[in-house]
Structure 1
């Protein structure tokens, strides 16, 4: 389980990385900008295959209050207030309306009039939020969906309240043994959110808002001991691998949130006295029986507002009956039903056959230094993104990092995360400066280029081997081909090291011998390389502009380009101007790499951009027939980077030339 879900050290590292990201980004928000928070399973510390990224964003200049007396705590000139009306909504939901003195113009389009009040319609608010963010316009429930490279994400549009909901006051009274009093106080002091979706059986489904306890749930998951967290992970694996296996989205009645709710109730009710690795299966079994009981009764009480039955709109009548039969069939088989999961079978079989088998909990035995570094490697590949291109915002963010980087409270993983973010910000600023000063007079352009180059060199000090690629791209962009080729040669030497960690393909023994025991900052500079992230709002290489524009138009903020593909591409583009024979040799090498690599250097998920770049290189060197074939291959791949529009455009161009 620790290999699948994570050891306590790995989970702590993942949470540290997420926490420092939110802190850094939100500290530099102005009052008229949105705040955001990563929520869901990734924030909790899971990294399971197929899981997406959940985001919540809310306006800083608006606050929801439960009664007018709470308005005394706000400067209403700076923060506009919104009031709750729960009188006609099911438990856990509410209507939101604007006080008559607070009818600001920009909200009128999302309001409807009822009982002489202006209520904010959740459905209209979702539509407006998507319209104002053209790159994230794909609706998905209460969210808008998009892509960061190969990762999908959901962005929920919310409002925030600094006050705890009165309907959840009973939860505070229940917290006798878990969580601890200081955690309860922290949760209550941070209030709640309101997500733009109504109850399907409510009187005002299109206008209601769901009360969200995402921040509170995150703090409760953090308050679990590691055995409890593993049981929660086991329930998620059980749900995905057994209950929902093979079902379409519309047929999946139980979800991960039900599993989490069951764990919360079992922990708080002291159903298990000793939460330890030896009782892992017992803990799972108790949670499973509670879920079975809920399905039988047709009632799944929300952990914070028990009157909110989370089965009410989906699990009832025939669906409830069929789900109960399925779960009861598993119950009759006993805990051995976990053997039906191919993943669980290999882990559970020995425990079932040998109940006295010793259980290893030592972190160093479970995961070596090199293996831990591989997980940290994954975490440092985070797909940073800023919706707006704003140098001032980037500078504010750098100032925030400067203020907190020396804090003794930072963990080593948070320091590393800040270093990676610093490198990213410097790279973004460098290329934005070039874009903004490209048409200026020589003196201004020279000054901007000098500053940009300095930033890119500084970014390498905070980054890894592959960050040198941004210097090579900048040299190419500014027509300095010899200098770009010189950087590429240095990168190739570093990539040839036998202890290189790239795409988790590292010789662990050689890696440990070469850099074991060093700080991760030093390991990154000497032995770590990653694929290249291109912010689609910034033009890094002119030959890739159509691909970036196509990707951005389809809601994909980041293009991920395999390092070795971009290395070959840049070398071909530079050699076209200084050594055409070498350009053809490198093109031959690129063709061999694309056709014969078996996942060692190239991520199969990125085959659309891989074939596309091969086609571009063939096209610029004059081999149109080969380029056409490569573009057709790109079209036949899964659209990871969302570049189909650019591919079709390039095919059309070649067709015109061939006429």
Structure 2
């Protein structure tokens, strides 16, 4: 039965190859950003970083300033230049295990940090509550405060942003963890974790003496490295526990009644692996591993003690699971325990795998990775990950140069095969940004020779980007030609792009003809596949002018809404064909507009997904208005306003309606 559940979980959670590619893509994005920005460091954590892609997987991001460092005693100050870095000293003498006060011994810091400080015990301490207050005043109105984080959504993804401080040193209170690591994790992982220290997030212990001023020691970096070091059965056990929590334990409970969280599941897996509770973690023992962890959770709830994996003295149940709440939770869990492993039949995600075996006990299941997922299924997810983890859009020429320099450095470093193709796409984006920034900088300077040189450079960068980016990246060349009044050249690029976009093997928005794709590109490199058979939305940075007709949409919304316009390539192609043809071939312009109208009115999610309906109707309205069909344009703008406001263009739509 375990092998069947293993296969089911691989389909639900991911194969080893899928999980590895997801992690590598996040790793290279983090590396790219941190090599560029030396003032603030960024670290992804949470289930998305760990390699999960559940519908409700959250994105946790931690930020910390590089010019502050937390130390545990004064002897560690010798490693720093105190004229360039502000040192913060931990004072854990009056705090519960896992928490600390942060003291500024020299009382010297930036004005922003000093404004979060308070006098206590004759010293100046950074108050976690004041720190949260300052940080949260800068958050988006759509964000909410969740513990030490600002929480919100980007599209369908939820995120938690936490601003924190970092220490290069491992906490003395977690020294016992190092001594416990005999069998797991391996020594090189232990050394890496200890060498990278820990973080401090702005939240105090609810039962501490200084709740408003204390900081929690965060081991987020250590935790994702521990998850990385799990074998796949261990990782799937963790995923199985997350599903068990969501679909069985917490099912139909309100947020205030959910006493157990995903962090408790993760901690149980850590303890179970380290204590060798299960001698062999393999596909055949997946359910046994789950049962070991469930019994450990049951024991913790019975005793009212859930020991933190790094600092066992920190009881994670202390402030929430006690008294009547503890008794009720234990009763509920014990009721599930009495059902045995059949309790998993209550989970929609797991049920089918178990039923298959119960109905056919002699069923043999192959757990070889190559039989679990096809080449085309893996490719579709890989390119989706690459698109979803797109590099940031540089805002000026200096940023572009820094990013290109960073890419140049990364090319010479050891990279995985997934990171190589991902870096290829990053480079495409940076070159495209550079080309349009350059052109916008030197437009109307009046210096013809300068404009000629800039134009040659911009064209070269866009053509280079199109050679190793997605098929849809050719549209950036068409946009540039249209912007620079070269309509015939734009139409020539549009014609070539149109041919590529109608190929039967094209991957677009998770859609693909599997047989045609395998026949045309099976066994080819990912670099080749990306250039010949992948299209995705065109993301226009709202701070850059690509062509004038979309400027109101780019300027729509506020500083807190999405910073890009995400346009389906087929919609943008018809728009550019219409705009360019108006100057050289009016019949072709009419045909392009007719094609665009049919696409927007009748597409069933193949070329225009639900989130892109707002901008697609808007673009149709713009083209109809330019063609003089004002009644149709009004209808299209009204339709745009009725869609999910994914691109935050309501202001532009309303403005265009008022003008009509």
TM-score over 0.5 (shorter chain): yes
1:161 aligns with 2:128: no
Distance in 1, matches of 2:651 and 2:253, equals 32
Please give the per-residue CA displacement for 1:389-432, whole angstroms capped at 9, x wherever unaligned: 2432332222222223144x322111111111111111111122
Question: With structure 1 as the length reference, what TM-score do the two structures score?
Answer: 0.93
What does residue 583 of structure 1 align with? 589
What does residue 433 of structure 2 align with? 428
The alignment partner of 1:118 has SS state of strand
8 Å contact 2:394–2:430 — kept in the other structure? no
What does residue 440 of structure 1 align with? 445
Judging changes above 3 Å, is the alpha-carbon distance between structure 1 residues 326 and 564 closer, same or farther for their aligned structure 2 residues? farther
Judging changes above 3 Å, is the alpha-carbon distance between structure 1 residues 28 and 100 closer, same or farther for their aligned structure 2 residues? same
What displacement does 1:158 show?
1.3
What displacement does 1:122 show?
2.5
What displacement does 1:465 show?
0.4
Indicate the larger mover: 339-348 or 220-229. 339-348
Question: With structure 2 as the length reference, what TM-score do the two structures score?
Answer: 0.93
8 Å contact 2:308–2:314 — kept in the other structure? yes
What does residue 6 of structure 2 align with? none
> How many residue pairs end up in the alignment?
651
Indicate the larger mover: 434-443 or 173-182. 434-443
- Which 4+ stretches in 1 moved above 6 angstroms? 133-137
RMSD of aligned C-alpha atoms?
2.4
Judging changes above 3 Å, is the alpha-carbon distance between structure 1 residues 351 and 287 closer, same or farther for their aligned structure 2 residues? farther
What displacement does 1:383 show?
3.8
Q: Which of 409, 413, 418 pairs up with 2:418?
A: 413
The alignment partner of 1:124 has SS state of helix
Judging changes above 3 Å, is the alpha-carbon distance between structure 1 residues 649 and 167 closer, same or farther for their aligned structure 2 residues? farther
Judging changes above 3 Å, is the alpha-carbon distance between structure 1 residues 144 and 534 closer, same or farther for their aligned structure 2 residues? farther
Distance in 2, matches of 1:608 and 1:187, equals 46
Distance in 2, matches of 1:26 and 1:636, equals 40
What does residue 374 of structure 1 align with? 380
Q: Which of 209, 226, 246 pairs up with 1:203?
A: 209
Q: Which of 472, 475, 483 pairs up with 1:466?
A: 472
8 Å contact 1:472–1:484 — kept in the other structure? yes
Judging changes above 3 Å, is the alpha-carbon distance between structure 1 residues 576 and 110 closer, same or farther for their aligned structure 2 residues? farther
Indicate the larger mover: 41-50 or 489-498. 41-50
What does residue 510 of structure 2 align with? 504
What does residue 392 of structure 1 align with? 398
8 Å contact 1:131–1:137 — kept in the other structure? no
Distance in 1, matches of 2:431 and 2:248, equals 46
Distance in 2, matches of 1:536 and 1:149, equals 17
For structure 1, the 5+ residue unaligned runs are: none
Distance in 1, matches of 2:311 and 2:603, equals 54
What displacement does 1:623 show?
3.2
What displacement does 1:215 show?
0.9
What does residue 35 of structure 2 align with? 27
Distance in 2, matches of 1:318 and 1:644, equals 50
Please give the per-residue CA displacement for 1:272-322, whole angstroms capped at 9, x wherever unaligned: 111110111111122122222223333222111122222233334444344
For structure 2, the 5+ residue unaligned runs are: 1-8
Judging changes above 3 Å, is the alpha-carbon distance between structure 1 residues 567 and 248 closer, same or farther for their aligned structure 2 residues? farther
Q: Which of 486, 489, 506 pairs up with 1:480?
A: 486
The alignment partner of 1:102 has SS state of coil
The alignment partner of 2:343 has SS state of helix
Alignment of 1:269-348 (within 5 A): 269-348=275-354
Alignment of 1:31-46 (within 5 A): 33-46=39-52
8 Å contact 1:385–1:557 — kept in the other structure? no
The alignment partner of 2:286 has SS state of helix
Judging changes above 3 Å, is the alpha-carbon distance between structure 1 residues 108 and 600 closer, same or farther for their aligned structure 2 residues? same
What does residue 14 of structure 1 align with? 22
What displacement does 1:136 show?
9.1
Please give the per-residue CA displacement for 1:354-411, whole angstroms capped at 9, x wherever unaligned: 555433221211112112111211121134354872432332222222223144x322
What displacement does 1:636 show?
2.9
What does residue 515 of structure 1 align with? 521
Judging changes above 3 Å, is the alpha-carbon distance between structure 1 residues 314 and 558 closer, same or farther for their aligned structure 2 residues? farther
Q: Which of 60, 70, 77 pairs up with 1:64?
A: 70
Indicate the larger mover: 270-279 or 570-579. 570-579
Judging changes above 3 Å, is the alpha-carbon distance between structure 1 residues 135 and 528 closer, same or farther for their aligned structure 2 residues? farther
The alignment partner of 2:184 has SS state of coil
8 Å contact 2:393–2:541 — kept in the other structure? no
8 Å contact 1:100–1:117 — kept in the other structure? no
Please give the per-residue CA displacement for 1:563-622, whole angstroms capped at 9, x wherever unaligned: 212222222232333344433332232222222222222212333333333333333333
Judging changes above 3 Å, is the alpha-carbon distance between structure 1 residues 322 and 553 closer, same or farther for their aligned structure 2 residues? farther
1:191 aligns with 2:229: no
Judging changes above 3 Å, is the alpha-carbon distance between structure 1 residues 610 and 206 closer, same or farther for their aligned structure 2 residues? farther
Distance in 2, matches of 1:69 and 1:570, equals 64
The alignment partner of 1:112 has SS state of strand
Indicate the larger mover: 495-504 or 145-154. 145-154
Distance in 1, matches of 2:417 and 2:517, equals 20
8 Å contact 1:147–1:556 — kept in the other structure? no
Distance in 2, matches of 1:22 and 1:165, equals 25
Please give the per-residue CA displacement for 1:154-205, whole angstroms capped at 9, x wherever unaligned: 2211111000011111211211211112211111111001112223333333
Q: Which of 81, 86, 92 pairs up with 1:75?
A: 81
What displacement does 1:145 show?
4.2
Please give the per-residue CA displacement for 1:537-573, whole angstroms capped at 9, x wherever unaligned: 3232333333333355233233322221222222223
What does residue 126 of structure 2 align with? 120
Indicate the larger mover: 639-648 or 141-150. 141-150
Distance in 2, matches of 1:85 and 1:388, equals 40
